[in-house]
Structure 1
Amino acid sequence: MTSDHELLTKTYYQTFISENDKRHPVEILGEAYMVEQEKEIYDLSYIRFAQGELYFHYKDYEAAIYKWESINNELEPWAKKNIADAYHELGLLSNAEDVYGSIISKNTILTSEVSLSLFSLYLEDNKLDAAYRVLQEAIETNPDYPELTMIAKRFYEEQQDWKNAMELAINEATRTEDLVWFDALIDYCGAGHSGSFTPETFVSLLRKLYELDEPRFKQLLMAIWNSYQNTDQYLSWLDSVIQTMKGLEINPYESWYKISELFEEAYLELTTGDYLLRDIGQLMPKLLINWLNTTTATNGLAAAAAIIAWDDIFPSAIKTVIVKEAEIVLENAHRRDLSLDECYHFMKTIIDWARKNNIETSNRLVWGFDQLFDRETTNLLVLGKGKESFINSIVEEDVLSPSLFHFASIQYGAKKELTEVSDTGDRPIASIKDSSDPDSIIEVSLPSLRLQTFRLRFNTTGLNEYFMEKRKTFGFLPVVDGVLFVSEAEKLSELDFDYLAQIKQSAKDTPVHFVLRNSFDSEQVKEYFPDAVIHSSTNVNVLRDIKVSFSTNNRVGKILFLLRKVISSLLKKRADAESKLIELIEHNEEYNTRLAGFLNSLHDKETDKSKEIITSFSNVIDGVKRDLSERIPKILASCSKYVKDDSNLNQLHIELNEKMNEELRELFEVEIVPDLSTKLQEWIEDSNSTLTATQDYLDDMTQSLTEVYSEKELKLHCDFKVVEDWRRDISRMTYQLQIEKENIMLRHNPAQVLLKGAGKVLGLLPQKQQTIMLNQYKRYVENTNYTDVVDSIQQKFWQQFDFFKRSLPQDVGLFYKDPLVELARAIDETNNDVEQDKETLAKMKSNPEVYYDPLKLFETRLVQYEQIMGRNKSRKDSTMPVQ
């Protein structure tokens, strides 16, 4: 019986060779061929198939193809496959592809081999799409075929096709449960290639791997977990983790430390303020329970504290039996202190969230955090009547004076600087007197060698501290490591001891030490503060001893106290923010109403002043025009005086024309132009006054708006360059203005033609007749109508002024342009602010959980930290009510 292996390896020919026959296979098959041919009924196909194999092995591919082409029995599909192999060896890839594609067989081994051969051929021919197709078809048909899936794995990796590589590994791990494929998944997920798959894809796979190999389960779980962090599928993945872990029997003595760390990271991530309770409210309790289940007595403190905190803030969310278990773990777990780094990151989380949501945080509280996170410096609250001289002597400068009423913080700095720290921000000041807020902190940096050497920061209240509000005196206890009471008196007074009683009541958790001039009051001081260290003011090493006597180990508790204040203040600010937003919207709408009225008024002024300026200019011009219309005809008629008895009739019209133009030039140069220039200068000054009144109006209105809307910046400056341009243009038009010579007596009207013609004829007449003619000439000059001459002169003279007048509306518009544009811009900007604020307000009202949920989660974190520190908080101490 022929085996698939013989056909696959092309060794079918060996079935014709007996064990003891040492002849060459070609000879043996040749003889068999002759023997078969001599039979009455013969079938040479099998021998030819075998002969083809031999030819193939000896690289006689054409002979092999010839032999296999004649096969038409059950070996035909294998013969076709061999023919295609031969074509492939010959480099005839197209022929090989055609033959491979024509093979039809139910033999899965043959079809798989054909697919692999095609795959190899397509790769050689750089037909990647076809290679993908035939490979995937082969896997779907017979995934168990030896090396098939491993070939696919290598191919996908070479192509960096991680989606298909992941899909192959998932399918094969599920199908075969071979750890090789789970290892591949660990590598792929570890490299971040799982993003194309939903987290639910891995649930059943992980549970199966837990049964097969627990260490690998942890590796794969961590690899997938890390790949989904910081993605939009993170919450879905955490839900899949819970499904995966459900019902797993976790051995408490085995190391789940790294998985436990991932649960803790998830808890911290979900409490950063980026998630709402509707998204994680159902998820978180299950997450915390699984976190606790993966811990041991050595690392279960944080998980147990988180469960108790969640139950504290969200009662009944976690089963009582789980809470009881967490309480037992908390009680028996190895205690550890919270680190300043943990507190710092939590503080940063809250502050960054507040800033991202445009919620103001108290800058003074942030300043307090900065003092506590300064690990190297000891922060002391210095009290007592002797503090002024004590601090001044240490820093060797009179930094404190009797007029001090602020809280001051004196620290080392490379140069002397004073900074006012208020709730709204920091600002440098020249002296304490320059402070504008009595509740601000004055931070003084000095290049003091003693402060630098001993790393001390002295905080102190106003010098009349005995009579100040306790809030101002003792409100800074949470940001200092201790209180240093300083007295220079020979003996403490009754007033001093009354004050010490106040300190004792307020500084319950804060150490109080003393610097006294003598030890007379030591016993009485010890009654108030049994643990107090009393330093002598005469001790030369007093600063060193002070530094040693105070510890900075209690800062975490103080930081947690401040964080609770921050969360409480943010809660209040939420209500304040909504109220302020409403007030701001009303404020801006009122401002816009006034701006709109202002803008309309300015448009009206532009129209009115433009008409007024143009009208006054027209009046000037029209007055001069009327004057010219009256005077020019009279001047021209008066030129009859130049017609004399001895005038030459032949040249008289030319002479008269010259005289008339001279008279007109004199009129314009001596009277008209100077008078016009004066009137236009007066017009400019009047117009300037009119426009200046507009600027005064704008200034008054701007000042009025600034008084009410001080935060708005409005600059309304008109363009007075327009007036300067008018001055330049008027000067240019009136400077040495000359009128063109007019053709007055040389015109070709009938009367003049008659006179001119008569002059040529009568010039030959006797004297008496010439006299008659001259008299007629004179009467003509005196009585003629000069309207056309006046019109011509007026038209030429006023041409520039007409153009100037036409440009006046545009000039006035330029004068008003900047304030109008600025007002329109301010209105648009304020409208945008109003719309944005309304949108923000609508979101605040419609989605209060966007604000309240993060604060509740912050408080949960805070309670967890308090539990870790052993500061058990009851539910009634909760900062906020349960929503």
Structure 2
Amino acid sequence: MARNFYEENQDWKSAVELAVNEGKRTESLSWFTQLKGYIDEGRTKSFPPDYFIESLLLLKRLSMAHFEQLLSSLWKRNDDEKEFLLWVKSLNSLFQQIEYDEDEIWYETQDLFQEVFLSLIKGKYLIKEVEKLIPDLLKNWAMIADPPHAALANGAILAWNDYFPTTLEQAVVEHAESYISGEVLAVKNFDESFNLLTEILQWAKNEAIEIDSSLHLEGEPLTVENEDILRRLQAHPEAERSEKLLQLIGSILNNMLSKKKEQEKQLIQNIQWNTDVLSKLRAGIHQIDDWKDGKNNLIKKSFQARKEEIRDSIQSGIPEILKSCSDLISEDSDFKKLSVEINDEMNLRVELYLREKVMPQFQLKFQDWLQEVEQELKESQYFIHELTEGLNQLLEENKLQMECDFQVLNDWKRDMERMTTFVTYEKENIFLRFTPSQFLIKSAGRLLGSIPQNKGFLASQYKKLIENEDFSDAVQLITKKFLQQLELFERTLERDMMLFFENPVSEAKQAVAEMEKEKAQYQKELDELKSHPERFYDPIVLFQIRQRQLEWLDIGSVGQFVKDDKIL
């Protein structure tokens, strides 16, 4: 009733505890069967591995078959779990408490030990994580193994002892040596060796470790591909195939070690190369910026000089033109309308001067400026091309395509053509301005202009006024309006020069960003390699231990084995 209640309410913790407790109390196999069902269904993941040791010890006494089935279910439950190493520790503890009977056959359990051993040394764990677990595991495995499994277990003991000679009891090692040297080993060593090779190649692929595409084995090249290896080894007698394959595995492991050293050396070289190239790229960017600033200043000064020449031409010519309008005045002039007429004539003469005298100068000066600018920009592009070629040689590829934007020059030509084609002149109040001298003479003209004897006096006063008048305000206003478009154009020069150089600068900065990222990645890999060398070297050692295990089985004699290729 309690079990049904827990299951209906999905209270699996209580259901598992009930099965464990009732199994111990009643020693009924049905409760252990129920417990196995919970384990297979994944209901026991919240329990620590050693929780089930007492149940297993009891079940071993009750039923060997049920014991092995429950143990196998626990193994499968922990196969991919983070607490796998804790479970191995519990497994060792369990078998240290078990009473052994020589007549017992451990059908499933010896396969379990082999799987656990291979899981610990297939490159997933570091040596410091497994070195305290494997000695007890191997001793327990050898204790229960039948002849085929005993060969693997004792071969593993000797292989582990070759690399970690102080971790196993001397009696265990001597028993393994005696077994290996005294038995005719009927082990499918080639299959085991080929499985090891497959795991090594997969590990190398996952770790992005390149292995030489062709390795020589006794003068015979073998491509590191499973199919090719199988095909090539079929030329060899069956008795030699395992030996040849193990020799190839040894060559691959040694090759991986040398590749790792080459990788570290290459990372250091790559970082130094990136550092040098980055320095050159940054220097190139500074060169472009300096060149750009220099050309920008040169072009602006050249523009400003021509603009000031036009300004001087306007400001020096217009006052004389305005004063020359005194020739319009005579005693016959209509003094009531004379101020308006003089103002109109002044505007006509100024407009004519701007159109016929100033505008041709304007056109010539700025056509010359455009030619000068075009030469400067072409020179800039040549400089950029030279810089690009040098940087690409440094980069060892045509990575940079730094082209300047000559659309800027086209836009300038269009704007200059528009500004120099015609004069837009707005009529100004040159002689109708409210000044004391103009106010007096204009008032006198309106009051006295109708009296004939006063006309001579008025004419002379008007002439005198025009010839002595300060027209600087009007001249400044006319000049400002005439040069207004040039002023606007000048304010865009710096922006346009930035646009002209924008692509080269952007290309170089993009290259810098990519190389900084690349350098950072190389540095990260190098730091990881130096700070955690065990992440690479430990799996290699463990693969070598497994290779050594198979070599012990292949040789079958202690005296023939040479211990000369360890990397410790």
Superposition TM-score tier, normalisation by shorter sequence: 0.7 to 0.9
For 1:648, the equivalent position in structure 2 comes to 334
Contact 1:253–1:296 (CA<8 Å) still a contact in 2? no
Q: CA deviation at 1:833?
A: 4.4
Aligned in 2, Cα 1:297/1:712: closer, same or farther, shift over 3 Å?
farther
Structure 1 counterpart of 2:82, from 221, 224, 232 = 232
SS in 2 for 1:764: coil
Q: CA deviation at 1:284?
A: 1.7
- 1:710 maps to 2:396: yes
Q: Deviations over 1:252-305 (max 9, x none)?
A: 655533322222222222222221111111212322333333432244443343
Kindly indicate whether structure 1 or structure 2 has the higher relative contact order, using CA contacts under 8 Å at least 6 residues apart: 2
Q: CA deviation at 1:358?
A: 4.2
Q: CA deviation at 1:165?
A: 2.9
- 1:756 maps to 2:442: yes
Structure 1 counterpart of 2:212, from 357, 362, 372 = 362
Structure 1 counterpart of 2:485, from 800, 815, 835 = 800
SS in 1 for 2:147: coil
Q: Residues of 2 paired with 1:274 and 1:594: CA distance? A: 43
Match for 1:332: what amino acid?
Answer: V
Q: Residues of 2 paired with 1:552 and 1:797: CA distance? A: 102
For 2:433, the equivalent position in structure 1 comes to 747
Match for 1:727: what amino acid?
Answer: K
Q: Residues of 1 paired with 2:384 and 2:362: CA distance? A: 33
Q: CA deviation at 1:352?
A: 3.7
For 1:332, the equivalent position in structure 2 comes to 184
Q: Deviations over 1:673-693 (max 9, x none)?
A: 343344334434434443444
Q: Deviations over 1:413-439 (max 9, x none)?
A: xxxxxxxxxxxxxxxxxxxxxxxxxxx
SS in 1 for 2:336: helix
Aligned in 2, Cα 1:560/1:732: closer, same or farther, shift over 3 Å?
farther
Q: CA deviation at 1:735?
A: 4.2
Structure 1 counterpart of 2:227, from 373, 389, 412 = 373
Structure 1 counterpart of 2:19, from 155, 160, 169 = 169
Matches within 5 A, 1:169-248: 169-174=19-24, 176-248=26-98
Computed over aligned residues only, the root mean square deviation of the Cα atoms, in angstroms, reads: 3.4
For 1:566, the equivalent position in structure 2 comes to 252
Matches within 5 A, 1:77-226: 150-151=1-2, 153-174=3-24, 176-226=26-76
- 1:738 maps to 2:424: yes
Aligned in 2, Cα 1:818/1:176: closer, same or farther, shift over 3 Å?
farther
- Percent identical residues: 32
Q: Residues of 2 paired with 1:217 and 1:848: CA distance? A: 41
Q: Residues of 1 paired with 2:247 and 2:363: CA distance? A: 83
Q: Residues of 1 paired with 2:117 and 2:143: CA distance? A: 14
Structure 2 counterpart of 1:690, from 344, 369, 376 = 376
Q: Residues of 1 paired with 2:114 and 2:401: CA distance? A: 56
SS in 2 for 1:338: helix
Structure 1 counterpart of 2:472, from 787, 792, 808 = 787
For 1:267, the equivalent position in structure 2 comes to 117
Aligned in 2, Cα 1:740/1:220: closer, same or farther, shift over 3 Å?
same
Aligned in 2, Cα 1:334/1:880: closer, same or farther, shift over 3 Å?
closer
Aligned length: 561
Match for 2:301: what amino acid?
Answer: T
Q: CA deviation at 1:481?
A: 5.5
Q: Deviations over 1:118-151 (max 9, x none)?
A: xxxxxxxxxxxxxxxxxxxxxxxxxxxxxxxx42
Contact 1:169–1:184 (CA<8 Å) still a contact in 2? yes
Contact 2:213–2:224 (CA<8 Å) still a contact in 1? no
Q: Residues of 1 paired with 2:326 and 2:25: CA distance? A: 131
SS in 1 for 2:190: coil
Aligned in 2, Cα 1:189/1:704: closer, same or farther, shift over 3 Å?
same
TM-score by length of 2: 0.86
Q: Residues of 1 paired with 2:178 and 2:238: CA distance? A: 31
For 2:277, the equivalent position in structure 1 comes to 591
- 1:812 maps to 2:500: no
Aligned in 2, Cα 1:782/1:570: closer, same or farther, shift over 3 Å?
same
The unaligned stretches of length 5 or more in structure 2 are none
Q: CA deviation at 1:191?
A: 1.7
Q: Residues of 2 paired with 1:679 and 1:616: CA distance? A: 10
For 2:539, the equivalent position in structure 1 comes to 854
Aligned in 2, Cα 1:220/1:707: closer, same or farther, shift over 3 Å?
same
Match for 2:275: what amino acid?
Answer: E
For 1:278, the equivalent position in structure 2 comes to 128
For 1:295, the equivalent position in structure 2 comes to 145
Match for 2:33: what amino acid?
Answer: D
Contact 1:372–1:480 (CA<8 Å) still a contact in 2? no
Q: CA deviation at 1:825?
A: 4.9
Q: CA deviation at 1:349?
A: 2.9
Q: Residues of 2 paired with 1:291 and 1:194: CA distance? A: 26
Aligned in 2, Cα 1:707/1:780: closer, same or farther, shift over 3 Å?
same
Contact 2:392–2:398 (CA<8 Å) still a contact in 1? yes
Q: CA deviation at 1:238?
A: 0.9
Aligned in 2, Cα 1:638/1:280: closer, same or farther, shift over 3 Å?
same
Structure 1 counterpart of 2:201, from 331, 341, 351 = 351
The unaligned stretches of length 5 or more in structure 1 are 1-149, 379-478, 483-509, 511-550
Contact 1:632–1:790 (CA<8 Å) still a contact in 2? yes
Contact 1:744–1:789 (CA<8 Å) still a contact in 2? yes
Aligned in 2, Cα 1:642/1:589: closer, same or farther, shift over 3 Å?
same
Contact 1:369–1:559 (CA<8 Å) still a contact in 2? no
